[in-house]
Chains A and B, each alone.
Chain A
Amino acid sequence: MKFTLNWLKRHLETDSSLDTIVDTMVRIGLEVESVKNPAEDLRDFVVAEIVEAGPHPNADKLQVCRVNTGSEALDVVCGAPNARAGLRGVFAPVGAYVPGIDLTLTKAKIRGVESNGMMCSEKELELSEQHEGIIELSDDVPIGSDAASALGLDDAVIDFEVTPNRPDTLAVAGVARDLAAAGLGKLITPDVTPVKGAFPCPISIGLKFTDDTRDACSHFAGRVVRGVKNGPSPDWLQRELLAIGLRPINALVDITNYVSYDRARPLHVYDASKVKGEIHARLAEKGEKLLALDGKEYQLTDEMCVIADDSGVLGLGGVMGGETTGSTDDTTEVFIESAYFDPLRTARTGRATGIISDARYRFERGVDPAFVEPGLELATQLVLEICGGEASDVFVAGGHSQSPKLIEFRSSEVKRLSGLELEDTQILQILTDLGFESERSGGTFSISVPSWRPDIEGPACLVEEVARIHGYENLPAVPMKRPRAIAKPLLKHGQHRARIAKRVLAARGMMEAVTWSFVPEDHARLFDDGSNLQLRLVNPISSELDTMRPSILPGLLSAVGRNRDRSIQSIALFEVGPQYHSDTPDGQRLVAAGVRLGAVEGPSSARQWSGNARAADAIDAKADAIAVLSACGAQASSAQIIDEAPDWFHPGRCGTLRFGPQNVLAVFGEIHPGVLDELDIAGPIVGFEIFLDRVPEPRAKATKTKPAADLPDLLPVERDFAFVVGGEVSAAAIVSAVQKAEKKLIVDVSIFDVFEDVSLGAGNKSVALSVRLQPTKKTLTDEEIDAVADKIVASVKKATGGTLRS
C-alpha cells in the first residue's frame, strides 16, 4: 500500500518529520518497505525558459533554442512541436540522468549543431506516457527553480506492507488514525456530508439471492449523477494517483480509485445510459461470461457474485467491472455503486479468475460495512466537484447490522499477556484513540469494536492494540523461571540417533548434503520399494521436483553426477533425513543414506607416493552401515547379513543387515548399473541406506553399572588355518563353523586371505583364518591346542565341506 506524505496530511495534522512518521509506522506494526521521493531523481532538473527558438540549419523537424536556465544561457536542440520562445519548461543540463530514456546527458552535436542539455517531456521524466511535446509550466514559476517542486512532485511516497488482518490500513485515513493514536498528531479526516438528491434514482437496485446466499452482497447503495462532464481528472488527483503507481483513466474512474485508497472503500461507476433496466446483484449462472475491464473474457461459475442488468452480467462484484458499461470521456450520466461483498466469496472468485484488483484486495480482507453509504456520498461530492452535474436520491438495497461487536475486557489482561503495567486510563485512551468505545460494568469494561476492525475478536486482540500503540519497545524483558535446576535432556533416544549418524559418517570422511525432499517422478520410480505409490505434488515447482522421495539415494546420486561434471573424481556424500512411503505420519522414515564414488581416502588421493588409493566397494558401504548402527546402539555384530537388497542395488554385490525379515536395519552395496544409466551417471558407485528408526530402543535398566571386565592374565594363543571350500561358501559360514567348534576358548576369528586358483580345483577358493584361543585357568598344552584345531577342521568340514589346504 502506497500513499504520499501530502495525502496523509489531509487526514493527520502533524508537525512530525517524515523520518518520525516512518519510524512510528514501523513501531506500531505498519511495516514500511520503502520511502521514495521522486524529487530526488530530478534533483539536477531546473525550470528554464526558451528565450529564442529558431530553425535548425540541417533538419526540418528540429529547432535550435536559446534557453535561460537562470544561471546561464545555452543552445539546446529540440524536436518538440510546442517548443517556442516564452515557454517555461523543465531543463536537463549536461550530466543529468534522464530516467525516461535511461541516459546521462553529454554535450552532443545533433545534425551538426551543439546541444547543451535537453528540454524534457513528461515521458522523459517518467511522469506519464505523454511524449507529444515538452512540459509547459505556467509563467509564474521562477526560472532556475527546482523542477520537482514546480511539478508538484516534491512529495515522499511511502510504501508499506499491509498484513491481512488490517484492511483498515488500506485507507490513508486508517494509517492516519493509527499514527494519531500513537501520538503523532490529530486525526482530521473530514466527515462525509450527504448530498441531497435532486431527483429520484432512475435505476433501481435489486439483491437476487436465496437465504443461503444472501451474504454474497448484503448491502448495495447506488445513485445516478446526470449532466457530468467526464475527461481527464484535475492535476492534483492525477498526480496523487501517479505517485502511488496508478494510471489516471478519466475523472470518474480516478475518483473511485481515490476513494478506494483514501478510505478503503472500493466503488464502481457505470455509464448509466448503457444500463438496461434494474441493476441487481446475484450469483452468476453457469455458462455466463464477462468481458472485464482488463480486456479479458472470463467464464463465470454459479459461485461468483455478479452485478447484472436486464441485458446480462455487467461486472464481477467486488472484483472487476465489465467493458460494456464502463465510463468513457463521453459519459454524461453516471451510476455509482457502493456495495458490501462477502470476503470469502470475493477471495474465491479472485482466485478462480486470477484477477488481481484493488477492489478484490480490499473486499477479501473486509471493508468497513458501515461505510457503504458514506462512501457513496463521498464519491458523489467528488463527482459533483470535479465533473459537475446533479445527483439523484440514493437507492439502497439491503443493509448492515448497526450493532457493534462487544468484548468484555478486564484491564488486567494487559499485564497478564503482555507484562506491561499500565493504568486503566492509559489503556482506555489508546483504545479510544483507535475508535473503540468503552463502558465500565463492574470490574470489567465493555469494549465496542469499530466497524472497520474485523480483526478484533477478543481480549487478546485488545491487548495487542494497547501494547503496539504503547510500544513494544516498552515491553519489560523478564527472565523465565528455570523449570528445574539442571535442564532435561534435549533429545529423546530416537532423536539422538540422527545426530550420531551424521557425526559418524562425517568422521568417516563423508560430506553431509541436504537435498530436496522431492525428486523427479522417474527417479522415484527407480527407487520404488514395490508399493508403486508415488506421492506426487499437485503443484510442484517444476517436474524435476514433483514427487516425494521414496529414498534419499537418487538425490545423492544426482549430486554425485553434478560434482563429477566438475571433474571431481572421488566423492563421498551422505544425508540423514526423511523419506516418504505414504502420506500419513507413519509413512515418513528417518534414514541415513550415503554414496561413495572413487577413492575411499578422498578426492586428492588417487595417486600417492605411498601407493595408489583404493576405490570404494560394497564392503566399504557395509562398513559405513555397521559403524552407524553400532554408534546408534544396535548390536550390529549380532545382526544377520544376507546377500540380498532392493532392486536398485547390484544383485551380486549387495547385502542387508537385519534382525529378521521384518526388521531390516540397513541395505548396502554397489548401485545397480542400470539405475546409474537411467540417472546418466557413470559408476561404479556404492551406497547404503540405514533405517535409523528401526534401531531398537535401549532397554531401561535399574542401574548404570557395567558388567565386570574379564581380563585373563594368561597369554592367548594364535593358530592359522587355510581351508579350501567351494566358491559359493560364504566367509561368514566358515567363521561361524570355527566359532562353534570351541565356544569357550575361541575369542576371535579373523580372515586374512581369500584367493581363487585353478590349483585349488575348479570353482574352489582358499580362505585363510587366524584363530585366537584365550585360556582362562591354565596355559594350554600342545595336545590341548591340537585337539581344538582338530575340532575346528571337523566343524568347518561338516558345515561347509571345506578341507584344510595342504
Chain B
Amino acid sequence: MEDILELEKDILDQIDAASEEKALEDVRIAALGKKGAVSALLKGLGSMDPAERKEWGPKLNGLKTRLTDAIEVRKGDLHRASINKRLETEKIDITLPVRAEAEGRIHPITQVFEEILAIFNDMGFVVEEGPDIEDDFHNFAALNFPEGHPARELHDTFFFEADEVGDQKLLRTHTSPVQIRTMMSQKPPLRIIVPGRTFRCDSDQTHTPMFHQVEGLVIDQETHMGHLKWCLEEFAKAFFEVETIKSRFRPHFFPFTEPSAEMDIGYKRVGDEIHIGEGDDWMEILGCGMVHPNVLRNVGLDPDVYQGFAFGLGVDRLAMLKYGIPDLRDFFASDVRWLQHYGFAPLDMPNLATALSW
C-alpha cells in the first residue's frame, strides 16, 4: 500500500509542477482519465473479494477525491495567474479624453415657461393656447379697448393688409386674446394659464419685436383681489425659489381689468447678481387685475354673477431676472456659445417634485 502513498505523492508533485492549465489537464488525464493510473486502480476494486474491497474502496476513493480537489485548487491558481499576467500587458492611458458627444441645450425661455406652468398647475390652472395672428375683436375690442382709445396706442401693433371688406388682421400684442377665446368656448369655473409669443412694433435695447408672455385667468363666483394677491405672491416665491418675498401692488390701468394693478418685487443688486426678496429697490414683474365687467359682458357672462382675475407676465424679463441674463436681444440671436452658457440640460425638466431649478 506504500505504492498508493507514493502514487499520491507523485501525482500531487506533478500537480504542483504544472505551470499552465494545459499541463495540469495532462496530469489529470494521466491520473483520473479513462486510462489514468488512479482510474485503473479503481477498476481493480471490482475483482476484489468483499473484505479487500471494504478496505481498499474508501482508500482509493479518498485518493481520487483528494487528487480532484488538488487539481481544482491548482487550476484556480493557474487561471488567476494567467489573468494577472495578461492584465500586466493591458494598460491604457486613462487620461485620454472621452469620445466627443454633442451636448444639447434647452433655451431659457422654454425653461422659464415650464417653471411658471409647473407652479400654476399646482394651483389648479391648465394650459390654453391661441393663434399669433389675431383679429381686432379678440386682441382689442372684446378686451374693452374702444376704437380710437389712446390705450391702443400703447400697444405698437403689427398689422397685415386689410381684406376686401376692410378687416385687418394683426399680430397679437399680448396673450390676453386667449382669455376671450376661452371664455367664449368654455363655461366657468375657469383657471387657465396661457403661454405664447407676442409681438409689438418696437425694437431697442429693452424691447424686441417678438417677446413672450404668460397670461392667467380665473373666472368663478367668488375670486377677488385678495385671492389675486395671494396667488401672485405665492407664485413669486415659488418662481424665485425664496422663502419670503417683498412685494407691492400698485394701482395701474389696463382696459380689460378693473380694478387694475402692477406687482413689484423688492430686490437688491450685489455686483452683477440680483438678489430677489431683499433690498429696497423695486421692479415691476407683472400687470393684473379683476376682469373688467365689460369684458365679461363681451363674452356673454353676467358681471353681477361671475368675477375673477387676470394677469400677464413677461417671460423674457422673468428669465433675465432669475438667471441674470444681461441682454434681451441675445435671446433671439441663436448664438450657440450663448445657448451653451445660459441654456439648460435636456433632462433638467422643471417640476415641483424636485426643486424648480438646480
Binding site for B on A (CB under 8 A): 26-29, 31, 163-166, 343-344, 347-348, 351, 364-365, 415-420, 457-461, 463-464, 467-468, 472-473, 475-480, 482-484, 487-492, 495, 499, 502-503, 505-518, 535-542, 545, 548, 555-556, 559, 562-563, 566, 568, 570-573, 577-578, 580, 583-585, 587-588, 599-605, 608-610, 613
From A457, A475, A535, give the contact of B160 (CB < 8 A).
A535
Set of chain A residues within 8 Å of B151, measured between Cβ atoms: 164-165
Q: How large is the interface on B (under 10, 10 to 19, 20 to 34, 35 or more residues)?
A: 35 or more
Q: Quick one: closest A residue to B158, CB to CB?
A: A537
Least distance between B53 CB and chain A CB atoms (Å): 45
Once the chains bind, are A601 and B104 in contact (CB under 8 Å)?
Answer: no
Q: Report if B226 contacts A (CB, 8 A).
A: yes
Once the chains bind, are B158 and A601 in contact (CB under 8 Å)?
Answer: no
Once the chains bind, are B124 and A514 in contact (CB under 8 Å)?
Answer: no
Once the chains bind, are B209 and A541 in contact (CB under 8 Å)?
Answer: yes
Provide the bound-state CA to CA distance between A464 and B251, in Å.
8
Q: Report if B336 contacts A (CB, 8 A).
A: yes
Q: Quick one: closest B residue to A511, CB to CB?
A: B339
Q: Quick one: closest B residue to A488, CB to CB?
A: B126
Once the chains bind, are A563 and B99 in contact (CB under 8 Å)?
Answer: no
26 A-B pairs with CB atoms under 8 Å apart are A29-B253, A165-B151, A463-B258, A464-B260, A467-B225, A472-B251, A488-B124, A491-B126, A506-B345, A506-B346, A508-B102, A509-B101, A509-B102, A516-B332, A517-B132, A536-B160, A545-B209, A556-B334, A563-B335, A571-B336, A573-B334, A578-B132, A585-B133, A601-B99, A601-B102, A604-B100
From A475, A478, A503, give the contact of B106 (CB < 8 A).
A503
Once the chains bind, are B226 and A475 in contact (CB under 8 Å)?
Answer: yes
Once the chains bind, are B253 and A166 in contact (CB under 8 Å)?
Answer: yes
Contact with A along B207-232 (1 / 0, CB 8 A): 00110000000100001111101110
Provide the bound-state CA to CA distance between A563 and B149, in Å.
44
Once the chains bind, are B226 and A490 in contact (CB under 8 Å)?
Answer: no
Once the chains bind, are B250 and A563 in contact (CB under 8 Å)?
Answer: no
A473 touching B248 in the complex, CB below 8 Å, given contacts A517-B197, A580-B133: yes
Once the chains bind, are A490 and B104 in contact (CB under 8 Å)?
Answer: no
Once the chains bind, are B334 and A562 in contact (CB under 8 Å)?
Answer: yes
Set of chain B residues within 8 Å of A489, measured between Cβ atoms: 126
Least distance between B179 CB and chain A CB atoms (Å): 15
Q: Quick one: closest A residue to B144, CB to CB?
A: A457
Set of chain B residues within 8 Å of A483, measured between Cβ atoms: 124, 189, 191
Once the chains bind, are A540 and B336 in contact (CB under 8 Å)?
Answer: no
From A475, A476, A479, A587, give the contact of B133 (CB < 8 A).
A587
Set of chain A residues within 8 Å of B226, measured between Cβ atoms: 418-420, 475-478
Provide the bound-state CA to CA distance between A593 and B55, in Å.
88
Q: Which of B96, B126, B292, B345 has the most CB of A within 10 A?
A: B126
Once the chains bind, are A508 and B224 in contact (CB under 8 Å)?
Answer: no
Least distance between B301 CB and chain A CB atoms (Å): 14
Once the chains bind, are B102 and A602 in contact (CB under 8 Å)?
Answer: yes
Set of chain A residues within 8 Å of B125, measured between Cβ atoms: 490
Extra contacts, 19 of them, besides A463-B290, A511-B343, A580-B132 (Cβ < 8 A), are A166-B253, A344-B148, A351-B153, A419-B226, A461-B258, A464-B251, A472-B229, A477-B226, A482-B124, A510-B104, A511-B340, A535-B160, A542-B203, A555-B334, A570-B102, A573-B334, A583-B133, A601-B102, A604-B100
Q: Which B residues from 14 to 32 make CB contacts under 8 A with A?
A: none
Q: Quick one: closest A residue to B284, CB to CB?
A: A31
Once the chains bind, are A417 and B225 in contact (CB under 8 Å)?
Answer: yes
Q: What is the count of residue pairs linking A and B with beta-carbon distances less than 8 angstroms? A: 273
From A460, A536, A578, A601, give the contact of B259 (CB < 8 A).
A460
Q: Report if B130 contacts A (CB, 8 A).
A: yes
Once the chains bind, are B149 and A164 in contact (CB under 8 Å)?
Answer: yes
Binding site for A on B (CB under 8 A): 96-97, 99-107, 109-110, 114, 117-118, 120-127, 129-133, 147-151, 153-154, 158-161, 169, 171, 189, 191, 193, 197, 199, 201-203, 209-210, 218, 223-227, 229-231, 233, 248-253, 258-262, 290, 292-294, 303, 307, 331-337, 339-340, 343, 345-347, 349
Q: Quick one: closest A residue to B133, CB to CB?
A: A583
Provide the bound-state CA to CA distance between A418 and B189, in Å.
19
Least distance between B319 CB and chain A CB atoms (Å): 11
Once the chains bind, are B100 and A613 in contact (CB under 8 Å)?
Answer: yes
A513 touching B225 in the complex, CB below 8 Å, given contacts A483-B189, A538-B161: no
Once the chains bind, are A464 and B259 in contact (CB under 8 Å)?
Answer: yes
Least distance between B333 CB and chain A CB atoms (Å): 7
Provide the bound-state CA to CA distance between A183 and B107, in Å.
49
Once the chains bind, are B224 and A478 in contact (CB under 8 Å)?
Answer: yes
Least distance between A620 CB and chain B CB atoms (Å): 11
Set of chain B residues within 8 Å of A538, measured between Cβ atoms: 158-161
Provide the bound-state CA to CA distance between A537 and B130, in Å.
20
Once the chains bind, are B250 and A511 in contact (CB under 8 Å)?
Answer: no
Once the chains bind, are A602 and B191 in contact (CB under 8 Å)?
Answer: no
Question: 4 closest A-B pairs (Cβ-Cβ)?
Answer: A509-B102, A419-B226, A29-B251, A605-B100
Once the chains bind, are A512 and B129 in contact (CB under 8 Å)?
Answer: no
Set of chain B residues within 8 Å of A584, measured between Cβ atoms: 131, 133
Q: Quick one: closest A residue to B120, CB to CB?
A: A490
Set of chain A residues within 8 Å of B262, measured between Cβ atoms: 31
Least distance between A428 CB and chain B CB atoms (Å): 18
Once the chains bind, are B225 and A515 in contact (CB under 8 Å)?
Answer: no
Once the chains bind, are A537 and B160 in contact (CB under 8 Å)?
Answer: yes
Least distance between A581 CB and chain B CB atoms (Å): 10
Once the chains bind, are B161 and A467 in contact (CB under 8 Å)?
Answer: no
Once the chains bind, are A477 and B230 in contact (CB under 8 Å)?
Answer: yes
Q: Quick one: closest B residue to A346, CB to CB?
A: B148
Q: Quick one: closest A residue to B124, CB to CB?
A: A483
From A417, A473, A514, give the contact of B332 (CB < 8 A).
A514
Provide the bound-state CA to CA distance between A613 and B100, in Å.
8
Once the chains bind, are A603 and B99 in contact (CB under 8 Å)?
Answer: no
From A27, A539, A603, give the contact of B336 (CB < 8 A).
A603
From B99, B118, B251, give the contact of A28 (CB < 8 A).
B251
From A416, A487, A563, A568, give the contact of B122 (CB < 8 A).
A487
Q: Which of B96, B160, B189, B345 has the most CB of A within 10 A?
A: B160
Set of chain A residues within 8 Å of B117, measured between Cβ atoms: 490
Q: Quick one: closest B residue to A347, CB to CB?
A: B148
Set of chain B residues within 8 Å of A491, measured between Cβ atoms: 126-127
Q: Quick one: closest A residue to B231, CB to CB?
A: A480
Q: Quick one: closest A residue to B169, CB to CB?
A: A583
Provide the bound-state CA to CA distance between A544 and B96, in Å.
47
Least distance between B242 CB and chain A CB atoms (Å): 16
Least distance between B221 CB and chain A CB atoms (Å): 10
Provide the bound-state CA to CA distance between A601 and B234, in Å.
43
Once the chains bind, are B227 and A468 in contact (CB under 8 Å)?
Answer: no
Once the chains bind, are B159 and A468 in contact (CB under 8 Å)?
Answer: no
